[in-house]
Structure 1
Amino acid sequence: MDTFSTIRARGMTKSFGDVIALDGVDLDVTQGQIHGLVGPNGAGKTTLLGLLLGLAVADSGELDVLGTRVGRALAAPDGVAGFVDGPGLYPSLTARQNLAALAALRGHDRRTAGIDEVLDQVGLTDVADDRARGFSLGMRQRLGLAAALLTRPRVLVLDEPSNGLDPAGTKHVHGVLTRLAADGTSVVLSSHRMDDLEALCSEVTILSTGRVVFSGPLTELAPGSRELDYRLRTSDPQTTRRLAAARGIRVVDGAAPRHDADLLVVRALVPALDELVVSLVQSGVALRELAPVVSPLEAAFLALTEHKEAGR
C-alpha cells in the first residue's frame, strides 16, 4: 500500500497567556502509522492533540491534515476523530444510546450508523444497554473509542486510550488500533505507559517544555552508547557473575529481590551484554530471562526530558 503524509505540522506555536504550551513544534505522520506522543506533564501533548482535533487553533505555524491546510476555525478537520482528556459521555444513557445520540448530532440514521459494529469492535456488546454512569474508567475509554470509530476516521487522535484498562482490555484495544492502522488509518496517541507505546508505535515524538526533543523511529532510541540495567535470570548465577565480571559488566547488588536467587541485575552496554549471552551459552548456562529494567523508550525519555528540564 502506497503511503502519504496524513499530518504535517511545521513551526506550531500555542500560548495561553504567559504560558508557552507549544514552541515551534514539527510533526509528521504517514498513512497507516501509529505515532506516539510522549512527554512529562505540561509538555504540550494535550495542546497538540487539541490542535489536531480542531479544539484549538495555533498562534502560528502550519498544519496540514489529509492534504488540507487547517484554518482558523474551531472545527475538527474532515476525516479526523478522537478525544482529549477522556471521552464526553451522557451518564444517564446506555452505551448504545450514547452512540445513537452522537450519530443523530451528525445527521446520521441510527439504524445505518454502524453502532452495533463499533460496539463489537471495542468489546462492549455485552454491556451495550447498560447506563454509562455505571461504567468503569476503562469501559468509558472503550466507549469513547467506539464513538470515534463511528465516523470511520482516516486519522484517529487518542489521549491515554489504555487508561483504566485491565490487561485483557488493553490487549483488545491494541488489536483494534493495530487493525485500523493495517487498513490505512493513521493513529496519533498520547500515553504515559511506555509499554503501550513500544507495543503499538512505529515512531514517537518526545516533547519537553513545549518543544520536540526527539521525533523518529523507536529503533533510533536504542541505547548504543548508554549503559542500562537488565534483569538476567540463568540456571547458574555464580557462573553468570564470573562471566559478567570477566567482561567488565557490573552486577548491581541489592537490585534484585533477595528471595529470587536466580535473578541478577546487571549494568551494561548492548555489545557487552551480547558477548555475555554468547559466553553463557558456550558455558552451558541456560538463559531464562533477559529484559531491561527500564525500557529503551523510557530510558531515552528520561534522559532527553531531564536534560531539557535542566537547561530551561
Structure 2
Amino acid sequence: MEITGLTKRYAKGQDRYAVRDLSFRVEQGQVLGLLGPNGAGKTTTLRMLMGLISPDAGEIRVFGHVVRPGAPVLSRVGAFVEGAGFLPHLSGRANLELYWQATGRPAEDAHLAEALEIAGLGDALERAVRTYSQGMRQRLAIAQAMLGLPDLLILDEPTNGLDPPQIREMRDVMIRYAAGGRTVIVSSHLLAEVEQSCTHLVVMDRGRLVQAGPVAEITGGGDTLLVTPAGGPVGATTLEKIAALEGVGSVAAADEGILVRLDGVTPAELIAELVRLEVPVAAVGPHRRLEDAFLTLIGGAA
C-alpha cells in the first residue's frame, strides 16, 4: 500500500486540515502502527484508505490499484474502524454469516471457522448480540473484519474493551496474521502493545507525517537520549533553554528525567551544552521506550 500527498480538509475553514500532504508506504507482511495524539488525523486517514471518504488531494494505492469509493480492490481489504454495527436480536454467528452473504461472495471463501476461532467467544456465539459485553462485541467485530482472510487488515483501536489477557491474545493474532504474508495496519493508544506487536510505525501530528520507519529505528536509533539530572527535576525554563539549542529536535519531561531528540547535535556536544547551561547532569544515555520516543516526536503534547 502506498499513500502519496494525501490531503483532506475540514468542511468549514480553509486552513483546517484533518490530513495534509501525507505520504508513506506499507509492505507485505508488516504490522504497521499508526500513532498520533487525538486530532492527528489517524481515523480520517483510515477512512480514506477504506474508500469511505474521498481525499481532496493525493492518492492511495492498494496492490497497485487506486482506492476510491466502490473500488474492486477494496474486496481485498478487511477493516474495523469506529466500531461495527450488529443486529442485536441475532446471534454472533448469524451476524457474521449475514455479513458475508451481503458481500455476494461464495460461502466457502469466508473462512468462517478461522474467524470464529480468533473471536474466541465460545458458547456466546449462539447468543443474541444484545447480551454481549463491550469486549465481546469488540472481538466479534474483529472476527468480522477477518472474514475472507483479507490481504490488508485495518484495525482502529482493536483493544478497546478488552481485558489484559484478551489484549495479549489480540497482539498474537495480529502477529500471526501478518506472518502468513498479509499486512496489518493498527491504530492504537496503547503504546506498550504497539511496541510489542508492530514491526513498523507511522507517527502523525496535526494531520502531518512526523516520522515513519521500523519500530527499532524509532525507539532505539540513537537519536533519543534520556538525560538524568542530578538533584531532581529541572524547571520549565531550563527545558526551554535545552529545546532552543542548535541541533536539538525536541525536549520532553519524563518521570526518569529529560527526553532529548537529537537533530544534528552529537551526544558529546549535547553534554557540553548542558554543562554550559549549568544543568546538573547525573547520566546521559539512549532511551528505547516507544512511549518516550513518541512524546519527543510530538514535542511532549498529549
TM-score normalised by L of structure 1: 0.73
Offset from partner CA, 1:114-151 (integer Å, 9 cap, x none): 33331112212331111212222221111111111112
Question: Contact 1:57 / 1:74 at 8 angstroms: preserved in 2?
Answer: no
Shift in alpha-carbon separation, 1:220–1:90, aligned structure 2, 3 A: same
Equivalents in 2 of 1:76, 1:14: separation in Å? 22
Aligned residue identity for 1:44: G
2:185 to 185, 188, 206: 188
Shift in alpha-carbon separation, 1:112–1:194, aligned structure 2, 3 A: closer
Show the counterpart of 2:5: 11
Shift in alpha-carbon separation, 1:112–1:211, aligned structure 2, 3 A: closer
2:71 matched to 1:78? no
**For 1:90-101, what aligned pairs fall within 5 Å after superposition?**
90-101=87-98
Aligned residue identity for 1:15: R
- Displacement of 1:267 after TM fit? 4.4
- Displacement of 1:71 after TM fit? 3.7
Equivalents in 2 of 1:72, 1:45: separation in Å? 19
**For 1:195-274, what aligned pairs fall within 5 Å after superposition?**
195-222=192-219, 224=222, 226-228=224-226, 250=230, 267=257
Please give the secondary structure, in 2, of the residue aligned with 1:56. Answer: coil
- Displacement of 1:306 after TM fit? 2.8
Question: Contact 1:96 / 1:115 at 8 angstroms: preserved in 2?
Answer: no
2:51 matched to 1:54? yes
Q: How many residues align?
A: 252
Equivalents in 2 of 1:59, 1:8: separation in Å? 17
Please give the secondary structure, in 2, of the residue aligned with 1:301. Answer: helix
Aligned residue identity for 2:18: A
Equivalents in 2 of 1:205, 1:37: separation in Å? 5
Shift in alpha-carbon separation, 1:22–1:267, aligned structure 2, 3 A: closer
- Displacement of 1:74 after TM fit? 7.1
Show the counterpart of 2:28: 31
Q: Which runs of 5+ in 2 are unaligned?
A: 234-254, 261-266, 268-286
Equivalents in 1 of 2:154, 2:22: separation in Å? 17
Aligned residue identity for 2:297: L
Aligned residue identity for 2:119: V
Equivalents in 1 of 2:78, 2:21: separation in Å? 24
Equivalents in 2 of 1:154, 1:66: separation in Å? 9
Of stretches 113-122 and 188-197 in structure 1, the one that deviates more from structure 2 is 113-122
Offset from partner CA, 1:36-67 (integer Å, 9 cap, x none): 11111111000011011111111111211012
Equivalents in 1 of 2:78, 2:60: separation in Å? 16
Please give the secondary structure, in 1, of the residue aligned with 2:126. Answer: coil
Aligned identity (percent) is: 38
Of stretches 110-119 and 167-176 in structure 1, the one that deviates more from structure 2 is 110-119
Question: Contact 2:34 / 2:186 at 8 angstroms: preserved in 1?
Answer: yes
Show the counterpart of 2:65: 68
Question: Contact 2:10 / 2:17 at 8 angstroms: preserved in 1?
Answer: yes
Offset from partner CA, 1:183-234 (integer Å, 9 cap, x none): 01100010000011101111111111100011111222236354438xxxxx
Question: Contact 1:103 / 1:110 at 8 angstroms: preserved in 2?
Answer: yes
- Displacement of 1:249 after TM fit? 6.9
Shift in alpha-carbon separation, 1:268–1:303, aligned structure 2, 3 A: closer
Equivalents in 2 of 1:116, 1:154: separation in Å? 18
Shift in alpha-carbon separation, 1:268–1:112, aligned structure 2, 3 A: closer
2:294 matched to 1:297? no
Aligned residue identity for 1:298: E
Of stretches 30-39 and 9-18 in structure 1, the one that deviates more from structure 2 is 9-18
2:119 to 118, 122, 134: 122
Please give the secondary structure, in 1, of the residue aligned with 2:86. Answer: coil
Aligned residue identity for 1:217: P
Equivalents in 2 of 1:188, 1:65: separation in Å? 13
Show the counterpart of 1:133: 130
Shift in alpha-carbon separation, 1:29–1:135, aligned structure 2, 3 A: same
Aligned residue identity for 2:84: P
Please give the secondary structure, in 2, of the residue aligned with 1:9. Answer: strand
Aligned residue identity for 2:82: D
Question: Contact 1:227 / 1:267 at 8 angstroms: preserved in 2?
Answer: no
Shift in alpha-carbon separation, 1:252–1:166, aligned structure 2, 3 A: farther
Aligned residue identity for 1:13: T
